[in-house]
Structure 1
Amino acid sequence: MGHRKDAPPCAEAPGSPAAPRRSDAQRNRERILEVALAELTRSADAPLSVIARKAGVGQGTFYRNFPSREALVLEIYRHEMRQVADSAAQLLSTREPDCALRAWMDGLARFAMAKAGLADAIRQATSGPGSPAKPGHTPVTDAAELLLRSCEEAGVIRPGVTADDLVLAIGGLWQLDPTEDWQPRAGRLLDLVMDGLRAGAPGR
């Protein structure tokens, strides 16, 4: 299936399905994760009591969701990784495959910055004896493969690119400083990678 030469530029597709209504418990959990990501990115030693207060939940609610700092840190990491992985199919359902891939790469950049900002907290959570292992990257790798194969079938990228190739190509994301204005540089880097993927595509 060839890519239409007159296809519109990558943009948000109209009529995307609305998110299902979440329960209060789910909203509390997601609010804790959102606040904890911001606070622990600023300081790996951010007090859990401060995170609970800024999330607007009581100590009991907080500890029912996350009984320890280690559990909180690793759930933030898993949550961010799941968000990136799950977005691949959603993007493919509303965009041209190459536009979906480019939008997904923006999400991967945000994940890279979250991981970099949480590096100290993750290290503390996984370094002690008996500490839980840091999650792997399989869901993200699987999502990358889904997007790349969809693009290849549509003829909009060069054939044969693997998820490992893509991760290596965008490895510079992990060198950016999450405390600085990283978005413009990340955008330029990802545009260069996307141009390289499109070069020589049979459908273009």
Structure 2
Amino acid sequence: MAKRPAKSRQAVPAPAEKALRADAQKNRDKLIKAAGLAFFQHGIDTSLEEIAERAGVGIGTLYRHFPTREHLVEVIYRREVEELCQAAEALARKYPPDVALAEWMQRFVDYIAAKRGMADSLKLLVASNSEFFAESSGRIPAALQKLIDAAIASGTIRADIESSDVMHALSGIYGAPKTADWRERSKRLVALLMDGLRFGAVNSKS
């Protein structure tokens, strides 16, 4: 087993991604998927050896792609933000505005779940690379704003809604106690929030 490199005291931003051979890209994708699932299930303390084993690669391969745990966490965080923002666009094309908003808010619970699993490393990364996190985090409220604007314009949610208030309500899920039923409870709360947004809307069926 390859020796684990000494951990840096300060997180270093992930290097710019270069074009990889097909097999190398496949290994990288498998590592990101395995790490995301492991952090969600067991938290940030999951050993890198276990992540490599889940991905079906050697620990040396993991370190070639991600020199430190923080590099890996940053890449996963980027992916979670990107997927959440892409989901807003895809849902808006597929569903009526209020349904798209409701579906996206349910996906926000999954984003929060992933973020909770990486909480400790994210704190370190925010301190060392705050500009990146400010930019990434700003994309999520912008995605929510578009969905809310469309739903208001369609008359399917109340017109007196501020997207910042909705984001504040959604973000409150992050501080809820992490119990066995946290995910299910959070999704029920989001559904109740959506019922409140629909109540009194011009074209609401509530």
TM over 0.5: yes
1:156–1:202 CA contact under 8 A, matched in 2: yes
Does 30-39 or 135-144 show the bigger shift? 30-39
* Structure 1: unaligned runs, 5 residues or longer: 1-22
Aligned twin of 1:17: none
Amino acid at match of 2:87: S
Aligned twin of 1:20: none
1:40–1:121 CA contact under 8 A, matched in 2: no
Amino acid at match of 1:203: N
Count of residue pairs brought into register by the alignment: 179
Amino acid at match of 1:197: L
Deviation at 1:126, TM superposition (A): 4.7
2:97–2:147 CA contact under 8 A, matched in 1: yes
- CA distance in 2 between counterparts of 1:150 and 1:39 reads 36
Summarize the Cα distance change of 1:92–1:126 in structure 2 as closer, same or farther, 3 Å threshold: closer
Q: Which has the higher helix share?
A: 2
Q: How does 1:1-204 map to 2 (within 5 A)?
A: 25-41=24-40, 42-126=42-126, 131-133=128-130, 135-136=133-134, 137-178=137-178, 180-204=180-204
1:157–1:199 CA contact under 8 A, matched in 2: yes
* Structure 2: unaligned runs, 5 residues or longer: 1-21
Deviation at 1:94, TM superposition (A): 0.9
Deviation at 1:36, TM superposition (A): 1.3
SS in 2 for 1:101: helix
- CA distance in 1 between counterparts of 2:34 and 2:102 reads 27
Give TM-score, length-normalised by structure 1: 0.77
2:126–2:133 CA contact under 8 A, matched in 1: no
Deviation at 1:182, TM superposition (A): 2.0
Give TM-score, length-normalised by structure 2: 0.76
Q: Which has the higher contact order (CA 8 A, sep 6+)?
A: 1
Deviation at 1:125, TM superposition (A): 4.4
CA RMSD, 1 decimal: 2.2
1:78–1:135 CA contact under 8 A, matched in 2: no
Summarize the Cα distance change of 1:163–1:24 in structure 2 as closer, same or farther, 3 Å threshold: farther
Query: What do the CA deviations read for 1:141-177 (whole angstroms, capped 9, x no partner)?
Result: 1110111111111110111423211111223311334
Deviation at 1:96, TM superposition (A): 1.1
- CA distance in 2 between counterparts of 1:162 and 1:24 reads 47
Summarize the Cα distance change of 1:37–1:152 in structure 2 as closer, same or farther, 3 Å threshold: same
Summarize the Cα distance change of 1:111–1:178 in structure 2 as closer, same or farther, 3 Å threshold: farther
Deviation at 1:112, TM superposition (A): 0.8
- CA distance in 2 between counterparts of 1:132 and 1:36 reads 21
1:70–1:126 CA contact under 8 A, matched in 2: no
- CA distance in 1 between counterparts of 2:170 and 2:70 reads 29
- CA distance in 2 between counterparts of 1:91 and 1:28 reads 30
